[in-house]
Structure 1
């Protein structure tokens, strides 16, 4: 995302948190329209009936189910929407399923407001919105286990795939990759598919963390 989002979907059941996040969104993105869904059922209804949003903040603990179940259809039906989890759950059982479903960011609501605001600002620059505690948890998860097999290493990627991974981790989208690498968009797409398959990842947030784990970039 390189422009200010015009429309955001806020999936949150608590009225005070809804008011707080809405105010934060409007402060960071002047003029943004915020559509609120207090339940999973309402979120699913809006996905079918509302105009596509460019940004979605998704809570996981909802009265009628897990917000993770809305992430995949959001990513499929609104492909230009940046999906960011906003929750109090920072454990592996919540973090990894959400990222695998297609979330491009994961923010903890109990962190200082200025950090949340900075993370939202970073979305405009294509930076994955990750709370520091979540980034640390993900990096630890990719560390080799003593006495066991290590995760796939940088050697599994071709030199061109490494170039693509580095640029993706820095926030470059498809048009920028085409321009900077001087290759066709179809070739870029093929490289991205290969990278995701080789590293067993499903989102740009995971790609950024993999690039850091492999020593290609620094967070």
Structure 2
């Protein structure tokens, strides 16, 4: 795409920021500015009427979330790449945008946000423009997931014991609790509802005479039900 004209659509509600983006892009011969929209609905409408290579969006739009617009652009309108340029810097906003398909995330106030043409060229060359604070959030998320996965691998297992008052299903759920799985993860693993998982866990707590996950794992270990 480097030697071709890159078509860009922008979703941004702030008028001064719109002016800056237009000023930076309008005279670049390698970039075709398809339009600048002030809302998610207007961007959605324009996407349905034209095609573009790159969507640049703010997360905080007057009538919706930019992460949802990214999903629409990629799945419904065949947009190749989507980049966020936003003042929103929380881990949840960053993760939502990336999970929905964003290939870059720039924070307003960072130098990359001002040089928007350079940002477009990075995407066109196959790169991912990303602010250093965002990169840190992404790395922290990856490391946290790795830690959770390792804890699940290191979990205890239920062994046959005459002291085990639990049913086979309850024993199975206890084993997953000991691996550090959340209720929703247990639900997905066993393909049962979260309500059913909660009901089983209440029975486990009652039978072991405990009130928490940690107490349940400890008591089961003491009874010889769980072992590493």
1:130 alignment counterpart: 130
Number of residue pairs aligned between Structure 1 and Structure 2: 151
Cα deviation, residue 32, structure 1: 1.7
Segments of structure 2 that go 5 or more residues without pairing to the other structure are 153-228
CA distance in 2, matches of 1:144, 1:151: 11
Q: What is the Cα-based RMSD across aligned positions, in Å?
A: 2.7
Segments of structure 1 that go 5 or more residues without pairing to the other structure are 153-219
Check the 8 A contact 1:4/1:124 in 2, yes or no: no
CA distance in 2, matches of 1:151, 1:77: 39
Cα deviation, residue 28, structure 1: 5.2
Q: The residue matched to 1:130 in structure 2 has which SS?
A: coil
Check the 8 A contact 1:119/1:130 in 2, yes or no: no
- Tell which has more relative contact order, 1 or 2 (C-alpha 8 A, sep 6+): 1
CA distance in 2, matches of 1:18, 1:96: 25
Equivalent residues in 2 for 1:1-219, closer than 5 Å: 1-26=1-26, 30-49=30-49, 51-113=50-112, 116-144=116-144, 148-150=148-150
Change (3 A) 1:57 1:151: farther
CA distance in 1, matches of 2:42, 2:66: 11
Change (3 A) 1:7 1:147: closer
Check the 8 A contact 2:6/2:124 in 1, yes or no: no
TM-score by length of 2: 0.58
Cα deviation, residue 81, structure 1: 2.5
Q: The residue matched to 2:133 in structure 1 has which SS?
A: helix
2:208 alignment counterpart: none
